[in-house]
Chain A
Amino acid sequence: MAAPLGTAARADDTGDEKQDAQEKEAVAPERAEEAKLKAKYPNLGQRPGGSDFLMKRLQKGQKYFDSGDYNMAKAKMKNKQLPSTGPDKNLVTGDHIPTPQDLPQRKSSLVTSKLAG
Chain B
Amino acid sequence: GAGGGNDIQWCFSQVKGAVDDDVAEADIISTVEFNHSGELLATGDKGGRVVIFQQEQENKTQSHSRGEYNVYSTFQSHEPEFDYLKSLEIEEKINKIRWLPQKNAAQFLLSTNDKTIKLWKISERDKRPEGYNLKEEDGRYRDPTTVTTLRVPVFRPMDLMVEASPRRIFANAHTYHINSISINSDYETYLSADDLRINLWHLEITDRSFNIVDIKPANMEELTEVITAAEFHPNSCNTFVYSSSKGTIRLCDMRASALCDRHSKLFEEPEDPSNRSFFSEIISSISDVKFSHSGRYMMTRDYLSVKIWDLNMENRPVETYQVHEYLRSKLCSLYENDCIFDKFECCWNGSDIVMTGSYNNFFRMFDRNTKRDITLEASRENNKPRTVLKPRKVCASGKRKKDEISVDSLDFNKKILHTAWHPKENIIAVATTNNLYIFQDKMN
Say yes or no: A33-B279 contact (C-beta < 8 A), given A5-B330, A54-B245. yes
| Complex CA distance for A28 and B10, rounded to whole angstroms | 37
Say yes or no: A112-B49 contact (C-beta < 8 A), given A11-B397, A33-B329, A38-B278. yes
- Contact check, B87 vs A62: say whether CB atoms are below 8 A apart: yes
CB of A67 within 8 Å of the partner chain: no
Choose the segment among B137-145, B149-157, B331-339, B366-374 that binds chain A (4+ C-beta atoms closer than 8 Å): B331-339
- Contact check, B279 vs A6: say whether CB atoms are below 8 A apart: no
Contacts of B278 in A (CB 8 A): 34, 37-38, 44, 48-49
Q: Looking at the complex, which one of A3, A31, A34, A116 makes contact with B71 (CB distance below 8 Å)?
A: A116
Contacts of B226 in A (CB 8 A): 54, 57-58
Choose the segment among B88-96, B124-132, B166-174 that binds chain A (4+ C-beta atoms closer than 8 Å): B88-96
Contacts of A50 in B (CB 8 A): 224, 245-246, 281-282
CB of B315 within 8 Å of the partner chain: no
Say yes or no: A2-B27 contact (C-beta < 8 A), given A49-B279, A50-B224, A61-B90. no
- Contact check, A29 vs B329: say whether CB atoms are below 8 A apart: yes
| Complex CA distance for A108 and B29, rounded to whole angstroms | 16
Contacts of B279 in A (CB 8 A): 30, 33-34, 49
| Complex CA distance for A33 and B303, rounded to whole angstroms | 16
- A35 CB to closest chain B CB (Å) equals 9
| Complex CA distance for A11 and B413, rounded to whole angstroms | 25
CB of B80 within 8 Å of the partner chain: yes
- Contact check, A109 vs B328: say whether CB atoms are below 8 A apart: no
- Contact check, A8 vs B225: say whether CB atoms are below 8 A apart: no
Interface of chain A residues 38 through 90 with chain B (CB within 8 A) = 38, 40, 44, 48-51, 53-55, 57-58, 60-64, 87
Interface of chain B residues 97 through 115 with chain A (CB within 8 A) = 114
| Complex CA distance for A68 and B223, rounded to whole angstroms | 27
Contacts of A38 in B (CB 8 A): 278
| Complex CA distance for A30 and B49, rounded to whole angstroms | 39
| Complex CA distance for A5 and B412, rounded to whole angstroms | 9
- Contact check, B176 vs A58: say whether CB atoms are below 8 A apart: yes
Contacts of A108 in B (CB 8 A): 47-48, 76, 79-80, 92
Contact size class for A? 35 or more
CB of A23 within 8 Å of the partner chain: yes
- A53 CB to closest chain B CB (Å) equals 7
Contacts of A21 in B (CB 8 A): none
**Nearest A-chain residue to B18, judged by Cβ:** A114
Contacts of B397 in A (CB 8 A): 8, 10-11
- B373 CB to closest chain A CB (Å) equals 18
Contacts of B272 in A (CB 8 A): 23
Choose the segment among B57-65, B251-259, B376-384, B402-410 that binds chain A (4+ C-beta atoms closer than 8 Å): B402-410
Contact size class for B? 35 or more
- Contact check, A2 vs B409: say whether CB atoms are below 8 A apart: yes
Say yes or no: A30-B74 contact (C-beta < 8 A), given A8-B407, A115-B436, A116-B51. no
| Complex CA distance for A5 and B327, rounded to whole angstroms | 11
**Nearest A-chain residue to B338, judged by Cβ:** A87
- Contact check, A53 vs B51: say whether CB atoms are below 8 A apart: no
CB of B399 within 8 Å of the partner chain: no
Q: Looking at the complex, which one of A32, A61, A109 makes contact with B114 (CB distance below 8 Å)?
A: A61
**Nearest A-chain residue to B53, judged by Cβ:** A115
Q: Looking at the complex, which one of A6, A23, A26, A40 makes contact with B328 (CB distance below 8 Å)?
A: A26
Of A23, A34, A40, which is in contact with the most chain B CB atoms at under 10 Å from its CB?
A34
- Contact check, A27 vs B79: say whether CB atoms are below 8 A apart: no
CB of A9 within 8 Å of the partner chain: yes
Interface of chain B residues 12 through 55 with chain A (CB within 8 A) = 16-18, 26-27, 29, 43, 45, 47-49, 51
- A98 CB to closest chain B CB (Å) equals 12
Contacts of A48 in B (CB 8 A): 276-278, 280-281
- A39 CB to closest chain B CB (Å) equals 9
Q: Looking at the complex, which one of B196, B333, B341 makes contact with A6 (CB distance below 8 Å)?
A: B333
Of A11, A48, A108, A111, which is in contact with the most chain B CB atoms at under 10 Å from its CB?
A108
- B69 CB to closest chain A CB (Å) equals 11
Residues of chain B touching chain A, judged by Cβ–Cβ distance below 8 Å, are: 16-18, 26-27, 29, 43, 45, 47-49, 51, 71, 74, 76, 79-80, 82, 86-92, 114, 176-177, 195-196, 223-226, 245-246, 272, 275-282, 325, 328-333, 335-339, 341, 396-397, 407-413, 434-436
The 4 nearest A-B residue pairs measured at CB: A29-B329, A109-B47, A3-B412, A33-B331
A-B contacts besides A23-B272, A63-B88, 14 pairs, CB < 8 Å: A3-B337, A5-B407, A10-B329, A30-B328, A49-B335, A57-B226, A61-B89, A61-B91, A108-B79, A109-B76, A113-B45, A113-B51, A113-B74, A114-B27
Residues of chain A touching chain B, judged by Cβ–Cβ distance below 8 Å, are: 1-11, 23-24, 26-27, 29-34, 36-38, 40, 44, 48-51, 53-55, 57-58, 60-64, 87, 106-109, 111-117
17 inter-chain pairs at a CB distance below 8 angstroms, sorted by A residue, are A4-B333, A5-B333, A7-B408, A24-B275, A27-B275, A29-B328, A31-B277, A34-B278, A49-B282, A54-B223, A61-B90, A61-B177, A63-B89, A64-B87, A108-B92, A113-B47, A115-B45
